[in-house]
Amino acid sequence: MEVIASAPAKVILFGEHFVVYGEPAMVIAIDKRAYAKAQNRSDKRIYIRSSNLNLAAYFENSNFKVEKGDPKEAKLKFEPVRLAVEKVLEKHGETAGLNIEINSTVPVAAGLGSSAAVVAAVTTAVSTLLNVNISREEVFRITYEAEKIMHGTPSGIDPAIATFGGALLFQMDTGFKPLEVKMDIPLVIGDTGIERSTRVQVDKVRELRERYPQIMESLTWAARQIVMRALEALKDKDLETLGELMNINHALLYGIGVSDESLEWLINAARKAGALGAKLTGAGGGGCMIALARNEKLEEISEAIRRAGGTTFIARKTDEGARIERA
C-alpha cells in the first residue's frame, strides 16, 4: 500500500521582518506543491529519499546512514522529516518501517516555505497510510515542531499556510486569522538562485533596530499601515492598489538592508516590464521576489525577469492546504 500527499508553498505578500516585532503579515498559499509518498516496509527503518535534492538516507533506532548525497545536508534536511514521522508513530502506538519519497516542486531556501510544505505532506501521507486519525491542527503542530529544527524559533507562518492553505493574516500575539480572498492574485515568482539564511537576515534587522530604535519604530508603524490598507484593497478586488503597496513595502525592506543586488535586478526588470508591483518575499538577501501583474502581462514580465538573471514561474493563490493525492 502507498499514499501520496501534498502541501503548498507560500509567499508573504506584506509584512515580512516587521512581523518579528509584533506587526501583521499577509501570506497566501500558492499552487506550487511538495509531494510525499509513504509506503510500509518489512523492517523498522525509516528510509527517506528526496529526488529533487538527490539525497537518500535511513534512520534505524539511533543510527543514521546516508546512502546518497552529502551526509551533512542529508541530516539537516531529513531530521525534520524524521521528527514528524516519529510524532505520527507515537500516536500510532507502535513502531513501523516506512519508505518516504519526497518530490518537491518548491525551490529550497528561497523564502517559499519548502521545508514546511515537505513536512506537512509527509505528516499527512504517513498518518493516512497508518490509519492514524490526525486533525489539521495536529498536522500544523507537528510541522511547527519540525520547523524548529531548521529555523530555531520560527514564526509559524510556513507550517500554518502549508497545512491550511488559502490566505492568512498572522500576528505574533494573536496568531492566525484566515482571510476570505475572492479575487485572483496573479504572480510571477522570480528566484535569484541564491540560498540565504533567514536567521542571518533577522539578526541583521535586530542589530539595526538596536542602533536606531526610534527610526525603526516609525518604519514598523508604516509596515503595519501597509498591511491594513492591503486588507481593504483585497476586499475591493483592487489590484492596482495592491501593487503600489507592494512597491512601498519593498522600499521599507530595502531601507532595513534585507534586499540585495540579485533581488534588485529582478524587481526593477519586473516593474519595467509592466508589473503593478514587485518586492522581495521572505527573508531577503537572495531567495525570491514576487511581481503582481494582470494576466495578459504575466509572460512578458516572466521573460523580463529571466533576462535579468532569475528563474521564474507563474503562481496563483490556492485555497487547498495539505491534502491526499492518492491512497
Active site residues: 158
Label residue 147 left, alpha or beta by phi (over 0 means left) and psi (-120 to 50 means alpha): alpha
Q: How far, in Å, CA of 20 to CA of 246, rounded?
A: 19
Under 8 Å between Cβ of 242 and 36: no
DSSP state string for 164-209: H-SEEEEETTTEEEEE---S---EEEEE------HHHHHHHHHHHH
The one-character DSSP state at 258 is: -
CA 130 to chain CA centroid, Å, is 27
CA 233 to chain CA centroid, Å, is 23
Look at residue 156 and give its three-state secondary structure.
coil
Closest listed residue to residue 52, CA positions, set 108, 91, 2, 9? 108
> Which amino acid is present at 33?
R
Tell me how long the chain is. Answer: 327
Closest listed residue to residue 60, CA positions, set 88, 84, 93, 96? 96
Q: How far, in Å, CA of 309 to CA of 261, rounded?
A: 11
- 153 CB neighbour count, 10 Å cutoff: 10
**Residues 6 or more apart whose Cβ sits within 8 Å of residue 139:** 120, 123, 124, 127, 163, 322
> Which amino acid is present at 156?
G
